[in-house]
Structure 1
Amino acid sequence: MEDAWVYILSAASSLFFLLFLFKLQRSSKRNLPPGPPSLPIIGHLLLVKEPVHRTLQSLSDRYGPVLSLSFGSRPVVVVSSPSAAEECFTRNDIVLANRPCMLAGKIMAYGNTTIGTAPYGPHWRNLRRLTALELLSPHRLAGSLAVRREEVGLLVRSLHEAAASARGGGFARVEMRSRLQELSFNIIMRMVSGKRYFGSAIDAGDAEVAGRFREVIKEMFELSGTDPGDFLPALRKVVDFKGRERRMVEAAKRSDAILQGLIDEVRSRRRRSDGGREVESKTMIDTMLSEGYSDDIIKGHIMTMLSAGTDTSAATIEWAMSLLLNHPDIMKKARAELDDVVGRDRLAGEVDIHKLPCLQNIINEALRLFPPGPLLVPHESTEDCTVGGFDVPRGTMILVNAWAIQRDPKVWDDPTSFKPERCEGLEGDHSYRLLPFGMGRRSCAGAGLANIVVSSALAALIQCFEWERVGEEPVDLSEGTGLTMPKREPLEAMCKARECMNANVLAQL
């Protein structure tokens, strides 16, 4: 028996050695990007520490803006310069339009069939067409304007009620993260299904389902990062790293049951309307049912909308408010712009957004410093190509470090400082210096909706309230962990209603 084990270990060692020599021989014939020395089998996995975008930036500073790594069995190229990013999203856009197949997408994204995880091909192009032309087109967004306006109004009202409870009409201490998450989640859910799922204004019968949905969405966000088994597939058959695969399966089942309930409810509502005749499509589920999509594809699209449109928007508003609290002079400038353009007799609306350049500069600068996706969603090369003069073999994972590009001192003057004026004229800029929503054919289809939600909410917060920090110290801008790079500590601030907005706007809410 002992001899048998010796033989097996010897054979395995020989096999790994031959594979290493084969890989070395192939690599020597190519001009691969530079990178640090790697370990056998695991490659550079031990070098990757949280936060990953900062780790990759430090490696790029040492080895160059086009960096070669090996995550287990998977070759990886990290891009950290605007010129290399431009090559990825222009000349190599189709070659790099694929997504790497990950365990989280297979289990929780309906077999990688969602718009965010599906391989480039007819199915993805069809989903992209549906999203761009039917679900998030200017016409569709105009149709859901009342939903967003009402949700922003509810956010303002909740803060007004909190401020009114302060002694002597002074400032009230408010926690912002939960309120902003309620805002963004409810907007997406109402556009998707017509129902609110957060806050006090929900039906009592939905409260239990809402609570379970909130928990499962939170867990799925936590599990959506890469799994070690994605890079060491041989070990996946033996080890379930920290029970992640089991937790993914359980979370996917719970999510699927809730999402199926939403679809069944909309389907039943459609059948009841007008004696069973077809009704006009009003929600995303209505539209996809009328287009004949399967329930699994619809559920996957709902999950994509929620994951791409809730935490990202909420985090951007939270970062922007944190920056403004540390720079009250810039907040005063934005408020003066709002008073001048919108006035004090109504709440700023979506029609006003393009008339508020100071507000847009603040949002762009917040996105530059704290992009909601510091590493863009991974791409994968479908054939050999070149980036930055280096060879990128077929099957390589491409990571674009947007965080590093947007803080590069070679690209930005005083890159870590908050200077909204530097973003003047960046609208339509194609220099690939600012890419929080990605670029190319797989860029975020919801960028327009995100800008509307963030702009409307931030405008209302600045227009209706006076804000101060909780203490004399600046707001802590430390980053937490997670796909959307949240603040490490939820934002708390002192809030007081502006007297000039009380009678005409706040009292009516």
Structure 2
Amino acid sequence: METTFDMIVEMITGSRCCVGEGKRFVHMAEEAFRLSSIPNPADFMPFLRWVGVNGLQKRMQRLEKEIDGLIEEIVDEIRRRRTKKEGKCTESGDADMTLVVVMLSMQEENPQVYTYNITQGMVEVLLLAGTDMTAVSMEWAMALFLNHPEALQKVHDEIETHVGHQRLVADSDISNLRYLNNVIKETLRLFPPGPLLVPRESTMECKVGGLHVPRGTMLLVNAHMVHRDPEVWANPTRFMPERFETEEGEEYKFSPFGAGRRRCPGQALAEKTMGLALASLVQCFEWRSVGEEEVDLSESEGLTAPMAVPLEALCMPRQAMRSVLSQL
């Protein structure tokens, strides 16, 4: 979680997060996704709002203020940094052309459209979605590796073939690690980071597939069940990365990031982050479970379906990588 948060912050602001800032945000993100998955009694019994009894909403409002405070600190720091430089970033090749800088520039040019709230909201979405979901998926992938050591060995052999052990794996290597990419897809199939995709609402009355859809209808897509449908997938509950050597990953059948033009815009970033992190862990360390039994793959509550029992594993630096690791 701290690794993915640090990476997103550097992408957004151009600098790494302060010591302790990562832990602070990780706690907020975990709490935000946990609270968001809890049914709100006031939605079913509106009178609770009238009498002022809505504990869940109050907890979420307090958390919202904490997250807004952290985001405000990040955005304000960028603004102060720009003020010191006494100029605006207008060239695309500028090293300081980060997302926040671009949005602040747009805000200055058109403050009626690009308000401060829009900038703050964009940063919040990127931090929450880009941190928690990617970290949860990586944890599931490592758990599957431990339960399927043959897949772990196959990924390691692939890295040895394409990268070797004289240097660390780089992001440019990920596209060549075909089996690793299949493992990531199979992990996302079995444990999609958003089991229920982002809700959709019809803006007008229409017909879809012969079904009448009234205006304002809320649609929830259960990607978790689609990915495990025996009519769609062969051996749907088995971990089989090899299945993606065929055409079993087409859109709608496999949609951990949604589908169509409104699919998650961070898909490529998430897949590249997972690939680089997992490849580095496999390349540099030998892994095994803490006990003799398999890792518990039970899911817990939450929008991102984290592991019910947080993953614990034993690792040891690979002998062939000791010289490279000693230089870090």
**Fold match, TM over 0.5?**
yes
Whether the 8 Å CA contact 1:353–1:455 is kept in 2: the answer is: yes
Which amino acid is 2:6 matched to?
Answer: N
2:319 aligned with 1:506: no
1:69-148 equivalences under 5 Å are: none
Whether the 8 Å CA contact 1:260–1:295 is kept in 2: the answer is: no
Of 339, 354, 376, 2:197 maps to 376
> SS at 1:268's partner residue?
helix
Of 255, 262, 269, 2:74 maps to 262
2:175 aligned with 1:363: no
Whether the 8 Å CA contact 2:2–2:22 is kept in 1: the answer is: no
Of 250, 259, 273, 2:62 maps to 250
- Structure 1 portions without partners, runs of 5+: 1-180
1:431-442 equivalences under 5 Å are: 431-442=251-262
Of 82, 88, 91, 1:278 maps to 88
Q: How far 1:347 moved relative to its partner?
A: 1.1
Residue equivalent to 2:49: 236
Query: CA 1:196 to 1:230, structure 2 compared with 1: closer, same or farther past 3 Å?
Result: farther
> SS at 2:207's partner residue?
strand
Residue equivalent to 1:224: 36
Deviations 1:313-335 (A, max 9, x none): 11111111111111111111111
Deviations 1:230-257 (A, max 9, x none): 455564333533x112222222222222
Which amino acid is 2:192 matched to?
Answer: P
Identity of aligned residues (%): 47
Which amino acid is 1:439 matched to?
Answer: A
Which amino acid is 1:507 matched to?
Answer: S
Whether the 8 Å CA contact 2:8–2:130 is kept in 1: the answer is: yes
Whether the 8 Å CA contact 1:371–1:402 is kept in 2: the answer is: yes
Which amino acid is 1:190 matched to?
Answer: E
Number of aligned residue pairs? 316
Q: How far 1:215 moved relative to its partner?
A: 3.7
Whether the 8 Å CA contact 1:191–1:284 is kept in 2: the answer is: yes
TM (norm. structure 1) is 0.59
Q: How far 1:425 moved relative to its partner?
A: 4.2
1:297-376 equivalences under 5 Å are: 297-376=118-197
Instruction: Kindly name which structure, 1 or 2, has the bigger radius of gyration based on alpha carbons.
Output: 1
Whether the 8 Å CA contact 2:12–2:99 is kept in 1: the answer is: yes
Which amino acid is 1:284 matched to?
Answer: L
Whether the 8 Å CA contact 2:251–2:259 is kept in 1: the answer is: no
Which amino acid is 2:127 matched to?
Answer: L
- CA distance in structure 2 between the partners assigned to 1:296 and 1:415 by the alignment: 43
Query: CA 1:411 to 1:296, structure 2 compared with 1: closer, same or farther past 3 Å?
Result: same
2:246 aligned with 1:460: no
- Structure 2 portions without partners, runs of 5+: 108-113
Query: CA 1:379 to 1:231, structure 2 compared with 1: closer, same or farther past 3 Å?
Result: farther
Q: How far 1:344 moved relative to its partner?
A: 1.1
Whether the 8 Å CA contact 1:438–1:444 is kept in 2: the answer is: yes
- CA distance in structure 1 between the partners assigned to 2:246 and 2:172 by the alignment: 20
Whether the 8 Å CA contact 1:263–1:295 is kept in 2: the answer is: no
- CA distance in structure 1 between the partners assigned to 2:182 and 2:307 by the alignment: 21
> SS at 2:292's partner residue?
coil
